[in-house]
Amino acid sequence: MLADASDAPRITAVNPAAAACRLAVGETLADARARIGALQVRLAEPDADVADLMRLARWATRYTPSVSLFKEHSGLDGFFLDVTGATHLVGGEKNLLADLARRLKAFGLPARLAIAENPGTAWAVSHFARTPCALIPAGTEAETLAPLPVEALRLAPETALTLRRLGFKRIGTLIDKPRAPFAARFEKELLRRLDQALGRTPEPLPLLAPPPAYVETRSLLEPISTEDAILIATTHLMQNLVPKLEADGVGARSLNLALYRVDGALQEIDIALTLPTQNPAHVTRLLGLKLERVSRFLESGFGFETLSLAVTVAERMVPHQSALATTSEETERAQRCTALLDALRQRLGSERVRHLEPVASHWPERSEKQTDRRSEKQTNEHSQNSNPEAAWPTPATRGLRPSLLLPRAEPADVIALLPDGPPQRLRWRGKVHTIAHAQGPERIAAEWWRSKTPEPTRDYYVVESGDGQRLWLYREGIPGRETAAPRWFVHGMFA
Amino acid sequence: MPSATSPSNPNRAEVLSELRRMLSRMEGVAQQEEARLSFGLPALDTYLPQNGLAFGAVHEITAASEADLPAAFGFFVSLLARTPGHGPLLLVLSSRKLARCGTPHGDGLADLGLDPSRLTLVETANEAEALWATEEAVRARGPAAVAGVLGGKLTLKDSQRLSHAAREANLPLLLLRAGEAADVATAATRWRIGAAPAARDRFGLLSGWRWHATLERCRNGRPGNWMLEFDHATHRFGLAAAMADPSLACGGAT
């Protein structure tokens, strides 16, 4: 029994025992307590209910990828499965219904199920028919719906109440009535719902996730739990996917492996690739590396009974390398390289494998960015045409740059002979360096078009201490013009 | 075999080089002449048994002191840049000591002769991952060269694995050991790099970095000691002339 606290605590759900005592949903708790002394009450947790329903809906993707949760007006207590073209996998609609009922019962969920031509009828039958499992043949919607109450049309409570007051208690009394008076008296909703239930207008369903174009599912006789078994099963799935991919001339850029646990939990593993692939061995290897990393989070419990491999991103297989590389050996090397990068990304995380890319900016922090995709290698010719500025500047066009740049410039205490002169002594990280040679300044002005509050100009010096340590120093602000007491920072180290 | 060749060939140096080649063949080091990392500096290349740093072997670089780490990194990068061909290069970074000195900066790497677009940086969270990534990269035989900046201790087994992988893939594997004791037991060469005051041109401007390079260990070769100079403009190694007057020292670079 559940009670909800709004104005006065009201009952939101009852169990069979309470229903037998004639307790009804909507009654206040005080009334119910007055009638039945031994009433047990639990607080309702709508958020947890929705989360659980979501989990169950994701579990149900084992039957079909098109799953849609009930919306507010349908009462958040179930979901639609679009099983069009998916029933033959479990041996027909009847078997599907039986299988679903059996599994839900095993979870301790006595569900009411219905299969019909359209969502409206299925909803009505599942909520108001006497049998818990119903299969409505096509074309019999009207006669099935006729004896059901008007609430079965997913109407707002007020509309249903008005209909009842007017004497329309069953859907059958509405079906053949002239439409104009209803349209005048009620909102459009009534007629729309009626049409949807009778299959006269289509009802699009908001799906949990768009169904992937390429998906392969396999149910196992015995649940599996070891990594090796998962890998073997995935290889089979990928091998089955390959003909479909080949037929369309595409390769998988991103894959999603869904593991359905015996107890209804769903675990998903995503694999992203640098280049589209059709190679099952490559996919399996990447998955193995990924599993190594996520094995801590993967709870096999009593094992996985169904595996589903979906290609979430498919891309046309373009022979990138053969166009660029001159020999087959080079092509092979490039392929091995992408395979290696994929493997490193799966095992270490994609943000760990990076390439340096130039940015057209003279401000040292912004002169490069780290990307996880190598773009300039694959689209070498394009990038030169479309984006000529994104090339590494030649050393001749700029001053010396340190090979190691500090992520954040670190303040240092500097003694200079003149306020705008080169540094003489430097204290940094608790050590005093006597500067034997200072080369500079190289003045770098801030990019005024970027921010409203202008950053101070920097005067960069390459300094060398007596023992050969070479640092990249800058003075922030032009003394006398931008600042009275300039501050010094160490920004990098030279070889 | 050597006994058969030595009486017929009186040239002692030739016999020695023949013996060296046999030794390296027995050890499975690459034989192709182009399969080596050459310094482009005859004085140094001929000193080394393979006319440069051999492919298919581990080369270890250490810093003389912690303050010399940027210098050692510079030597390491400029060597990596000398990898022949245009294949991609892979750099595994895991050392916290190097991270304290900064992160590789594309423009600065270009100053050391390394094309930044060739480079792939792999940063790892711990030593075990770094070792795995390094070995994986070598075994994949995709990159033209693999380099690693490894911080933690390397056991004998780890270094054996790495050199075995390098030998099988016939790739050079450069390891920069950031401030750790030199402990790659199977390294073909081991260099210790210290920073030295840079070379200046006649106007007093910096024209080349200088490093004290000590070859501490060299398989089939002798240890040695050089003052190396890396020219900014030509990206070439040179031997610094041991002259007191820095204004005359610029001749050593060319």
What integer best gives the mean pLDDT of chain A? 82
A183 and A56: one domain?
Answer: yes
A158 and A62: one domain?
Answer: yes
Interchain CB contact of A437 with B (< 8 Å): yes
Split into its structural domains, chain B has a count of 1
Q: Tell me whether residue B20 is in a domain.
A: no
A263 and A337: one domain?
Answer: yes
Whether residue A37 is predicted with pLDDT greater than 80 in this model: the reply is no
Q: Tell me whether residue A399 is in a domain.
A: no
Q: Tell me whether residue A369 is in a domain.
A: yes
Residues B71-125 pLDDT 10s:
999 999 999 998 888 888 999 998 888 888 899 998 899 989 888 888 999 999 8
Domain containing A377 equals: 355-393
Interchain CB contact of A285 with B (< 8 Å): no
What local confidence, expressed as pLDDT, does residue B15 receive? 86
- Pairs of residues, one from chain A and one from chain B, whose beta carbons lie less than 8 Å apart: 184
Whether residue A161 is predicted with pLDDT greater than 70 in this model: the reply is yes
Query: Å from A454 to nearest chain B CA?
Result: 25
Give the domain-ending residue among A346, A367, A384: A346
Q: Tell me whether residue A329 is in a domain.
A: yes
What's the whole-number mean pLDDT along residues A236-244?
Answer: 89
What local confidence, expressed as pLDDT, does residue A462 receive? 92
A80 and A180: one domain?
Answer: yes
E runs forming strands in A225-303: 250-261, 266-277
What local confidence, expressed as pLDDT, does residue A72 receive? 65
Report the residue from B70, B103, B120 with minimal CB separation from A355.
Answer: B120
What local confidence, expressed as pLDDT, does residue B38 receive? 86
Judge whether A111 and A132 are in contact, CB under 8 Å. Answer: yes
A39 and A142: one domain?
Answer: no
Interchain CB contact of A341 with B (< 8 Å): yes
Helix (H, G, I), strand (E, B) or coil at A285: helix
Report the residue from A357, A404, A470 with minimal CB separation from B102.
Answer: A404
Whether residue A491 is predicted with pLDDT greater than 90 in this model: the reply is yes
Report the residue from A335, A370, A403 with minimal CB separation from B111.
Answer: A403
* First and final C-alpha spacing in chain B: 42
What local confidence, expressed as pLDDT, does residue A380 receive? 42
Query: Å from B206 to nearest chain A CA?
Result: 8
Whether B116 sits inside 8 A of A358 (CB atoms) is yes
Q: Tell me whether residue A206 is in a domain.
A: no
Whether residue A382 is predicted with pLDDT greater than 70 in this model: the reply is no
Give the domain-ending residue among A329, A346, A363: A346
What local confidence, expressed as pLDDT, does residue A270 receive? 87
Whether B106 sits inside 8 A of A356 (CB atoms) is yes
Whether A352 sits inside 8 A of B136 (CB atoms) is no
Q: Tell me whether residue A312 is in a domain.
A: yes
Interchain CB contact of A463 with B (< 8 Å): no
> Vertex A257, ends A256 and A262: CA angle to 5°?
145
CB neighbours of residue A91 within 10 Å? 11
What local confidence, expressed as pLDDT, does residue A68 receive? 85
A320 and A259: one domain?
Answer: yes
Q: Tell me whether residue A210 is in a domain.
A: no
Nearest to A255 by CA among A316, A318, A313: A313
Residues A252-272 pLDDT 10s:
888 988 888 888 788 888 888
A299 and A262: one domain?
Answer: yes
Selection from A366-380, A459-473, B228-242 with the highest mean pLDDT:
A459-473
User: Strand pairing of B89-93 and B145-150?
Assistant: parallel
Long-range contacts of A112-116 (CB under 8 A, 24+ apart): A115/A83, A116/A141, A116/A144
Report the residue from B110, B125, B197 with minimal CB separation from A395.
Answer: B110
User: Strand pairing of A266-277 and A470-476?
Assistant: unpaired
Whether B105 sits inside 8 A of A469 (CB atoms) is no
* Both tokens assigned to A118: 């359209």
Residue ranges of chain B whose pLDDT lies below 70: 1-10, 25, 27-34, 179-182, 241-254
Q: Tell me whether residue B107 is in a domain.
A: yes
* Both tokens assigned to A341: 């990068």
Residues A190-237 pLDDT 10s:
888 888 888 888 888 888 877 788 888 888 888 888 888 888 999 999
Q: Tell me whether residue B52 is in a domain.
A: yes
Report the residue from B119, B142, B197 with minimal CB separation from A340.
Answer: B142
User: What does the alpha-carbon distance between residue B127 and residue A57 come to, in Å, rounded to a whole number?
Assistant: 42
* Domain harbouring B91, CATH code: 3.40.50.300
A52 and A172: one domain?
Answer: yes
Q: Tell me whether residue B202 is in a domain.
A: no
Phi-psi map region of A468: left, alpha, beta (phi>0 left; psi -120 to 50 alpha): left
Interchain CB contact of A454 with B (< 8 Å): no
Query: In terms of CA atoms, which chain B residue is nearest residue A439?
Result: B205
User: What does the alpha-carbon distance between residue A146 and residue A129 come to, in Å, rounded to a whole number?
Assistant: 11
Instruction: Examine residue A441 and say whether the peptide bond preceding it is cis (omega within 30 degrees of 0).
Output: yes
How far apart, in Å, are the Cα atoms of A254 and each of A118, A209, A318? Answer: 33, 15, 16
Q: Tell me whether residue B254 is in a domain.
A: no
Residues A297-330 pLDDT 10s:
777 778 888 888 988 888 887 655 444 545 677 7
Residues of A in contact with B101 (CB under 8 A): 404, 406, 493
Judge whether A56 and A76 are in contact, CB under 8 Å. Answer: no
Q: Tell me whether residue B8 is in a domain.
A: no
What local confidence, expressed as pLDDT, does residue B9 receive? 57
Whether A404 sits inside 8 A of B209 (CB atoms) is no
Residues of B in contact with A353 (CB under 8 A): 120-122
What's the whole-number mean pLDDT along residues A331-359?
Answer: 85
The β-bridge partners of A354 are: B121
Whether residue A56 is predicted with pLDDT greater than 80 in this model: the reply is yes
Q: Tell me whether residue A180 is in a domain.
A: yes
A446 and A487: one domain?
Answer: yes
Report the residue from A339, A404, A470 with minimal CB separation from B198.
Answer: A470
Q: Tell me whether residue B138 is in a domain.
A: yes
**Complex prediction ipTM:** 0.83
User: What does the alpha-carbon distance between residue A341 and residue A371 come to, in Å, rounded to a whole number?
Assistant: 13
**Which of A274, A289, A333, A356 is best to mutate for the B interface (most B CBs within 10 A)?**
A356
What local confidence, expressed as pLDDT, does residue B134 receive? 93
User: What does the alpha-carbon distance between residue A24 and residue A10 come to, in Å, rounded to a whole number?
Assistant: 10
Residues of B in contact with A464 (CB under 8 A): 197-198, 206
Contacts of A161 (CB under 8 A, 6+ apart): none
Residues A96-112 pLDDT 10s:
888 888 888 888 887 88
Domain containing B77 equals: 29-196+210-235
Split into its structural domains, chain A has a count of 5
How far apart, in Å, are the Cα atoms of B31 and each of B24, B34, B113? Answer: 8, 9, 27
Q: Which of A6-10, A247-251, B242-246 has the lowest mean pLDDT?
A: B242-246
What local confidence, expressed as pLDDT, does residue B121 receive? 92
A34 and A80: one domain?
Answer: no
